[in-house]
Each structure stands twice: as structure tokens, then as C-alpha cells.
Chain A
Amino acid sequence: MVMKFKNKPDHSRYDVVVVGGGHNGLTCAAYLAKAGKSVLVLEKRPVVGGSAVSQEVFPGFTYTVCSYVVSLFRPHIVRDLELARHGLEIIPLESSFSPLPNGDSLCRWGDPHRTRREIARFSAKDAEISTEFSLAMSQLARFTKSIIDNPAPNPASLNPGELVQAFRASQGLREANADQRFTYMKLLTMSAADFLDQWFESDVLKAPMSVSGIIGTFLGVRSPGTAYVLLHHYMGEIDGAMRAWGFSKGGTGGISEAIARSALSYGTEIVTEADVSNVIIKNGKAMGVALQNGDEIQADTVISGLDPRRTYMSLIGEEHLDSELTEQIGHYKFRGSSGKVNLAVDKLPEFVSRPGDGPHLYGDVAIAPSVQYLEKAYDQAKYGEFSERPYINMVIPTLVDPTMAPPGKHVISCFVQYAPYDIKEGASNWPQKREAFGDAVVDTLSEYIPNLKDSILHRQVLTPWDLEQEFGLTEGNIFHGELSMEQLLYLRPAAGWAKYKTPVRNLWMCASGTHPGGGIMGASGEMAAKAILGRHAA
């Protein structure tokens, strides 16, 4: 059941107005309401969650429309906001299954020996080293934890407060030994494929591992800088287990709804179908927001849950900004590179390589048969075409949450890369290519799942253009801007404005376009709230 909200606020004035009811906006609102503020969240769409949203797009079938798995969500936020009590439930993925075009396949399991035997069929050496690799990555991820759980310190500042923050954020790295620091430097500079080459020889293993380095970026697995994105995807944890990814019960909208319930319980007001046109700014200070319907709401503090470009260029407006900052924001890279295909099916996919129902279907399925396949997919995107044979990450959430479809039927969620925002015909021509893109995805999958086409009852195709137009993601970037080093940490979204503040007094940012970045983390929302309350993040 998708939650319903009212369409009109009760009052005309609040302590805080949050623009955008995505998961970060809701998290920020919940923390502020818990601290005693009167908070109003304004969401343009009829449902909350932004891109962490579940909707019954086809009768009886609930799609996890955009985002589809979760790992990075901060455990302390679950505690602080009592999200388990409000219905949050993360069900770990059991396996990572990679079918191959030759009818073979690789499946990595929670059971280490089973995984070792699987990998050994391709490389005996890789089979054993993969546990060492996992240990190394989880240690690096642990060191990084203090960076993502603290505001990004400004290295150009000698202000004592900044130094304290720098000290806290670097706590993990200070615990690292020399070898680990070297590995860290490599991670920051190398490509995902090169980084993995240091450890592994089997392409069948490296390809599905390397894709974590390209998700949401307009880069290939051989592009420098992608190794860091790989680590970003290792930083998640479920119940203390690093690198665990899971389904959210009810789709990722289940996370947003749990946060919304928590926010409501602290007295937050949430209004949907409320389209904010701009922030009302007087003398460089935010006074409230104006809605498209002409209504105005006063507020002491306005928080933008929108991405940096929409915040700076639409909500604020260039006229209120320095030209230098305008330029910085103009250069901030979005370059959406992925799309989403959601399917309603009347039977489970039957893989050539592993026929039948089984535990290999309970995790994620990666169509990433080789590093070269992935690079070829990227090549097409570089020249303004979607990949005819894309990387696809597929999950079947109905296996663990059968309430998302009628009995015996399923929903399949497919994350697809590459689908460049700037296709050569121009982004606005995406609607004419939408179905061809959907066909490419279904055709690709059908090479591995011959029964797929006949089982499809409904198909939803979301191109980067749709992600922008419908979900407000500039250029369809799922992370509110790429996770590349030059726009992370104290540079996200712009040098000097990385601490959730904006040049407009009392206007703050709280979403993925701020440190620590994208994915369903809640960290930006939480740290923005703490910055506003004048508290350092824990």
C-alpha cells in the first residue's frame, strides 16, 4: 500500500520548509522535527521518496521504480529515527549471479566455500584470493566510514573547527597501516578494471565485480577514477556485515515510507503534489518558498532536497549568485548514464545456464559477461547511443516479498547502463527512442532467459530523460551528480559550499548532491539537519 498524504499545508509559516520529499529530505525533516522544529515537507509528486519510491504502476504489481537495492543506509539513522518500528526492513541479497552467453555462469554466494568452488571453475587462483580481496576492501571501507559519517572537512582552512572535523573524518585512515594507505591511494586514482587486475585473472569474475565502479557514472570500467566508485559500493553494511546489499521490503519506497512515518510521528507535515517554483529571497536571505500555484509559505529555514543544479539555478536563481559559483555549478557533472526497465511477469525467468527456480534468483543478476563487453557498451554511449547490449543488473524482489505482485507472479527490476542523457539526437528525443531502448534490454536478457518475452505482462521503461522530467534528476543522474573525485568531499557540490550551506542565508541543501553523495544513505539528510541545529554529526 502506497502512503497517501494531504495536498495542502495546515499553516502558512513554519520553522523549516523542506523542498522535495526524497529519502534525504524526509530524513532531514525527521531529525529537525525530532529536535522540536515545526517542519513542512513539500513534494511535487503524489508520492514521497523521490527516487527511492515504490509505485503500483501496473495493477497488482508494485515496482521499485528507480533505485532497487540498498546497503549504504546509515545504521545509526535507523536507530535515531526508529525506522524498524516504522516498517523499515532490509532483506539481504543471497547471491550475485552472472550468466554467460555460452550457457555457463558464475554465482557468488554467502557461503564462502560454495563461492570458492564456483570461481575455481574459471580460475583456481582467483577462487582463493577472493576472500583476501573481500577482507582488504572491507577494511578500506571501514576506514572510509569516518569520512562518510562526518561532514567533509575543508583542507584549505586552518579554522580550529575545521581541523577538529578533519581529525574526526580521518580517524579511520589514521588507523590504516602503510599498505592499506597505498591501496587507498590506488583506489582513488585507478580504474576499476585495473584495480581488479591486481588481484584477479578471470574475466568472468572481474567483469561483474568491476561494474560497481561505473554505476551512475559516465565512465567505463577502464576509466581512471572508477576504482573509488567501486569502494563506494563496498561501504555499505547490513547488521555489521560490510558489503551486504539488500532489498527493502516493499521496494525502496518502503525505506522512504518508514522515514516519512517517523517524520510524521515527530510532528512533521508532509504535503504531496506541491510544486515549489522558487525560494523567496530577500536581501540574500531565504524567507520561504513560492509554489507553482501561487501560494507562498514562510519559513525561518528552507532546505533543498533537490540536486545542485536545480537548487542553484531554479530554486535560487542565477541573479542571486556570484558568477564564479554559477560557473562552478555549471561545470558540476551530471551526465546521466543509466536507465531503468521494470517488468511484470507471470512466471519466473528460466536461465539457460541455470534452469528452474532456485537460490540463484534470490540475489542480483548481472549481465556483465566480460570486461570487453562492458567497454563496448561504454563505447556506444560515448558517441551518443544507448548500448545495444548493455550492462544490466536485475533483481526479482517478489521472491522475498511476495506482496509486491499477485500470487505466482513477479516483478523484475532492471538497472541498465549505458543510456546516455545526451543521445546524439538530443536528450529531448529520448521519448522516441524509449521503446527501442526497452527492446534492447529485453532482447539482451532474452539471450540468457529465452522464456522472458512470453512472460511479460507489462513493461515500464525509464530513460535518463524520464528520470529528469519525472523525478527531477538533472540529466538523469541517479546520484545528483557523478561520484568522481573532483566532485566529492569538500568539492561537493562546490568548493566552499560543501557543508550543506548555500550562499543564501538560511537556505541549506540536504540531498545526494552534498557530501557524502549518492545512494540511499540518508547521510546527507542527517548531517544537514545536524549542521542546521549547530550540532556536529556523530
Chain B
Amino acid sequence: MPIGTPFHQRTSELCTSLFFKDWAGYHTVCSYDTSHEREYYALRNAAGLIDVSPLFKYEVCGKDAAAFLSRVMVKDITRLEVGRCAYLCWCDDHGKVLDDGTVFRLSDEHFRVAAAEPSYSWLMRQTRRFDVTIEDSTDRIGVLSLQGPKSRDILKNVSDADLDNLQYFGLTQSKLDDVDVLISRTGFTGDLGYEVWVDCAQALTVYDAIMAGGRDYRLQPVGLDAMDVTRIEAGYIMNGVDYFSANHCSIESRKSTPYEIGLGWTVDLDREPFIGQDALKAEVLQGPAWATVGLVYDWPAFERLFNEVGLPPELPGGAWRTPIPVYNHKGAQVGQATSGAWSAILKDNLALATVQSAYAEPGTVLQIEVTVEYERRKVPAVVTKTPFFNPPRKRA
């Protein structure tokens, strides 16, 4: 039985649809109304406020904190400056990804790790030779993700943070309605946006202040459905959807290396030893077997398939995450699309897919399965560089 997040009292009042789902043991809103459409457009044209408190959070403190995190993460965290965050992943000894997440450097000796999966035990097991403490702060800290082109104006209205100078992936401590909060310029929508981290005891004060400050900017409470569409547009992968944590895989073939899930860029390979390093070095030499790519359906072909049976093209109502086979030009299966969405803004039918490396070059035309009137058909889909949607304001 899931429990409420620190913002549950507000979100449950606003969620007139009663569309909730279980996210890591918490009740979270899918969409506040019966359709997530208004929320989606708010994220792209105004702003949306998403309760992302179920993220797993760990406070890593102590004089060896940076060295410790550099040991367990694929990135060299000693080089992460105070006031910056880094997106990365971490692996097992065999270089297979356990999770992806974000590391925040709050001070010289205080880091926060945000993860998709419970990671306390695994982190603790690596601490032996390091002078660090780890606190599971998941239930102590609430997180609100304020995303969209108006998010900066709204936060400026309600906090004293110097947001004009807060760079993409920067973080700052500030007061929001007299409450101490941490504001990071991060998010899962691929847009201008911030995450506000607050102690649970003051969660509702912060929620109310942001909602009130956002009224003039048409801020909407936004659920996971709308966020899911935007994360596909942004090309962000999800643990448990687009890849699986090595810890949960009963078969080897289901595990992935960072290079196979498009996170090779987060790996700092040549440095002090870190977990999985040898395996990752070997992987680089050998070349990854798989690649995670963006796919864009060929619309005229897609539309034609439906028109042939007298139907208008049927588009998914929201983001989907049921894997679909992907084939090469000869009809041999070369991978699978793991999630996707119709992008109403880009006017493209998008998917994220894992394909054999030989088929990962942008521009490669693959075939993706489409079910038309109960019949399995195929349409061309072009391998496309992600993010599909990348507005300049994201980093501006």
C-alpha cells in the first residue's frame, strides 16, 4: 500500500481525476484532470509543478565523500564544483548499469545523490575504506519540479535566489517564503526548469507559495503522464523502462553498459580505479553491442497503414512503455523500442529504442511494428539524434 508524499495533502485535493499510481511506494498523480493535455502544454508554454518526492535521496557526507562517490560512480566527482550537479550512472563490477541519477555538491563534504531505485545498501557496502556517512534522506526531503518557460519568472517571484546567474545544472541555497530550500536547475522535461528541495516539515508552505506565485503565469499542477511525454521528447531514458538495473536482471542479456544506454558521455574512464572500470575499458575497446537511439516514425507510411483500413491514424494518448520489436530493412529483428510518445509539439511520432550498434547511425531507416486493426504491420522509422526537442531556453 503506497503512502503519501509530503505534498499529498495538496496534490490529492487538486487531483480531481483520482488518477494516481504507485511510484516507488508513494501515491503520485498521473494527471490532475482526465487528460494530461493541459498539463503537457503548460510544461511547454507556461509552467508546471510536479511532485517528484519519490526520488531516492542520499546525503553523502564526510571528508572522503568526493573520493567515495568517484569510486562508486562512473564520473570523477572530485572535479564536481560546489554548487554544481552532475547527471551520471553507476555500475556493478562488470560495468553493467545499476541506476542512473544525479549527484549534487552542496558543500566540500556534503553531496546528495538522487536515484531511481533504493541504493542505500549498495552505497553503504562500498564505504569500508572511506571516511563518509550516508543518510537515506528520501523520506525527509520533499522535491518539487517546477518546469517550463515561465518557471524562472515564478521562482524569482517567490524566492531570493539569484536565478539569473544559476546555470544549467547549478544549484543554490535560498529562502522561499522564509523556508530554507535548495534550488537546482535540473529536471526531467528537457526544458527550462528547476527542482526545489525542502524539508518535509515545510513542504506545504513551499508548495503553496509556488502555486500562489505561479498563478499569474498559468502554472499548472502536473502529473507523471505529461512529464513522461516531455521526457521522451527530451530523449531521457528511464531505469526499469528503457533499460534494467543489473541488480534485477536474472539473465545477462538484459543488462546494459553505460555505452549501450547512451550514457557513455558520463563515464570518466582514465582515472583512479572505480567500480566497473576494467570492464568499461574493455567495452570501449571492443565496442558496445547495443545502442540506445531515438526513432521517428515515417508519418506518411504510418497514416497510409491506417487509411488502408478506413481509419484515421491512431496515435497513442500518452507516452507508452510496452516494448515493440524493431527490424532492419530485411525484416530481421535488430532491437526493440522501449518507450515512445506522439509529440504534439514536434508533430512526430517518437520512440526510444535499443538496437544493435550496427544500426545506430542517425539516418538509418529501420522498421517498427505497428498494430493496425489487430494486425501487426511495419512502418519505417528513422534513427534520430536525441534530444528530439531541445529549446535554447533549457540552457539559456
In the complex, are the beta carbons of B45 and A401 less than 8 A apart? Answer: yes
Give the residues in chain A near B38, CB-CB below 8 Å: 94, 359, 362, 400
Binds A, one of B60-68, B187-195, B312-320, B325-333: B312-320
**In the complex, A114→B33 CA distance in Å?**
12
A92–B218 touching, CB < 8 Å: no
The stretch of B6-14, B243-251, B344-352 in contact with A is: B344-352
Give residues of chain B (329-377) contacting chain A, Cβ–Cβ below 8 Å: 342, 344-348
* Least CB distance, A95 to chain B, in whole angstroms: 10
Tell me the total A-B contact number using a CB cutoff of 8 A: 70
Give the contact stretch, choosing among A237-245, A379-387, A431-439: A237-245
- State whether the Cβ of A35 lies closer than 8 Å to any Cβ in chain B: no
Contact A402–B310 (Cβ < 8 Å): no
Q: In chain B, what residue has the closest Cβ to A92?
A: B37
Select from chain A the residue with minimum beta-carbon distance to B348.
A84
- The CA-CA distance from A94 to B348 in the complex, in Å, is 22
Q: How far is the CB of B151 from chain A (nearest CB, A)?
A: 12
Q: Does A78 contact B (CB under 8 A)?
A: yes
Bound CA–CA A455/B342 (angstroms): 39
In the complex with contacts A111-B34, A401-B45, A408-B216 CB distance below 8 A: yes
Q: Are A175 and B310 in contact (CB under 8 A)?
A: yes
Q: How far is the CA of A91 from the CA of B45 in the complex (A)?
A: 10
* A398–B33 alpha-carbon span in the complex (Å): 20
* CB-based nearest A residue for B154: A407
Interface residues of A, count at CB 8 A: 34
Specify which of B33, B41, B303, B315 is in contact with A359 (CB 8 Å cutoff): B33
B interface footprint on A84-122 (CB within 8 Å = 1, 0 otherwise): 110001111010000000000000001100100000000
A79 is an interface residue with CB less than 8 A from chain B: yes
B185 interface residue (CB < 8 Å to A): no
Please tell me if the beta carbons of B312 and A142 are within 8 angstroms of each other in the complex. yes
If A91-B45, A359-B38, A408-B215 touch, whether A79 touches B347 (CB-CB below 8 Å) is: yes
Known: A78-B347, A402-B45, A402-B150. A94 touches B37 (CB 8 A): yes
Residues of B within 8 Å of A91, CB to CB, are 41, 45
B11-48: CB near A (< 8 Å → 1, else 0) gives 00000000000000000000001110110011011100
The CA of A498 and the CA of B41, in the complex, are separated in Å by: 40
Determine how close the nearest CB of chain B comes to the CB of A218; give it in whole angstroms: 33
Closest B residue to A401 using CB positions? B45
Query: Smallest Cβ distance from A54 to chain B, in angstroms?
Result: 15
Q: In the assembly, what is the distance between CA of A78 and CA of B343, in Å?
A: 14
Residues of B with C-beta under 8 A to A238: 344
Chain B residues closer than 8 Å to A242, beta-carbon distance: 312
B19 vs chain A, min Cβ distance (A)? 12
Whole-angstrom distance between the alpha carbons of A94 and B42 in the complex?
13
Interchain CB contact under 8 A, A89 and B345: yes
In the assembled complex, the Cα of A469 lies from the Cα of B28 at a distance in Å of: 56
List A323-356 residues whose CB lies under 8 Å from chain B: none
Contacts of B217 in A (CB 8 A): 402, 407
Per-residue CB proximity of B209-229 to A under 8 Å, as 1/0?
000000111100000000000
Q: Which of A107-152 contact B (CB under 8 A)?
A: 110-111, 114, 142
A400 and B347 contact, CB distance less than 8 A = no
Nearest B residue (CB) for A89: B345
A389–chain B nearest beta-carbon distance, Å:
32
- Min Cβ gap A91→B in Å is 5
Give every chain B residue within 8 A of A89 (Cβ-Cβ): 44-45, 345
Contact A239:B315 (CB < 8 A) given known A84-B346, A111-B34, A408-B215: yes
Contacting pair A240 B312 (CB below 8 A): yes
Is A309 engaged at the interface, CB distance under 8 Å to the other chain? no
A279 to B33, CA, bound (A): 55
Q: Which of B282-338 contact A (CB under 8 A)?
A: 299-300, 303, 310, 312-315
Nearest chain B residue, comparing its CB with the CB of A142: B312
- Residue in B33, B216, B312 whose Cβ sees the most chain A Cβ within 10 Å: B312
CA distance A89 to B315 in the complex (A): 18
- Is A206 located at the chain interface by the 8 A CB criterion? no
Whether, in the assembled complex, B131 has its beta carbon less than 8 Å from a beta carbon of chain A, the answer is no
A400 with B45: CB separation less than 8 A: yes
Contact yes or no, B150 A240, CB < 8 A: no
Nearest Cβ on chain B to A236's Cβ, whole angstroms = 12
CB distance from B370 to the nearest CB of A (A): 13
Query: How far in angstroms is the closest Cβ of chain A from B305?
Result: 12
Q: Which A residues touch B45, using CB under 8 A?
A: 89, 91, 249, 400-403
Interface contact B314-A79, CB-CB below 8 Å: no
B153 lies within 8 A of chain A by Cβ = yes
Cα–Cα, bound, A408→B219 (Å): 11
Query: How distant is the Cα of A399 from the Cα of B42 in the complex, in angstroms?
Result: 9
Residues in chain B near residue A142, CB distance under 8 A: 312
Specify which of A240, A359, A400 is in contact with B313 (CB 8 Å cutoff): A240
Partner of A84, one of B41, B310, B342, B347: B347
Closest residue of chain A to B219 (Cβ to Cβ) is: A402
A408-B216 Cα distance, complex, nearest whole Å: 4
Least CB separation from B307: chain A residue: A142
B315 near A240 with CB under 8 A, answer: yes
Docked CA distance A402–B345 (Å): 17
CA distance A288 to B345 in the complex (A): 39
Scan residues 50-94 of chain A and give those whose CB is less than 8 A from a CB of chain B. 75-76, 78-79, 83-85, 89-92, 94
Q: Which residues of B contact A175 (CB under 8 A)?
A: 310
Residues of A within 8 A of B346 (CB): 84-85
Instruction: Name the residue on A nearest B345 (C-beta).
Output: A89
B282 to chain A, nearest CB (A): 41
A90 cross-chain contacts in B, Cβ below 8 A: 344
Q: Are A402 and B218 in contact (CB under 8 A)?
A: yes
Query: How far, in angstroms, from A453 to B112 measured CA to CA in the complex?
Result: 53
With A111-B34, A111-B35, A362-B38 known to touch, is A399 a contact of B345 (CB < 8 Å)?
Answer: no
Task: Kindly report which residue of chain B lies nearest to residue A79, judged by CB atoms.
Answer: B299
CA A75 to CA B300, docked complex, whole Å: 10
The CA of A249 and the CA of B345, in the complex, are separated in Å by: 10
CB-based contact A400/B41 at 8 Å: yes
In angstroms, how far is the closest chain B Cβ from the Cβ of A1?
14
CA distance A359 to B35 in the complex (A): 12
- Interface positions of A from 379 to 430, Cβ below 8 Å from B: 398-403, 407-408
Q: What is the minimal beta-carbon distance from A87 to any residue of chain B, in angstroms?
A: 10
A400 contacts which of B34, B218, B315 (Cβ < 8 Å)? B218
Compute how far the CA of A142 lies from the CA of B314 in the bound complex, rounded to whole angstroms.
14
> Which chain B residues lie closer than 8 Å to A398 at the CB level?
218
A237 to B310: give the CA distance in the assembly, Å: 16
Chain A residues within an 8 Å CB radius of B37: 92, 94, 110
Hey, which chain A residues are within 8 Å of B216, CB to CB?
402, 407-408
* Besides A90-B344, A362-B38, 19 other A-B contacts (C-beta < 8 A): A84-B345, A84-B347, A84-B348, A85-B346, A89-B45, A92-B37, A94-B37, A111-B34, A238-B344, A398-B218, A400-B45, A401-B46, A402-B45, A402-B46, A402-B150, A402-B217, A407-B217, A408-B215, A408-B216
A–B Cβ pairs within 8 angstroms, 26 of them: A76-B300, A78-B347, A79-B299, A79-B300, A85-B346, A91-B45, A92-B37, A94-B37, A110-B35, A110-B37, A111-B35, A238-B344, A239-B315, A239-B344, A240-B312, A240-B314, A242-B312, A359-B33, A362-B38, A400-B41, A400-B42, A400-B46, A401-B45, A402-B218, A407-B216, A407-B217
Q: Which residues of B contact A (CB under 8 A)?
A: 33-35, 37-38, 41-42, 44-46, 149-150, 153, 215-218, 299-300, 303, 310, 312-315, 342, 344-348
For the complex of A and B, the 3 pairs showing the least CB-CB separation, nearest first, are A408-B216, A407-B216, A84-B347
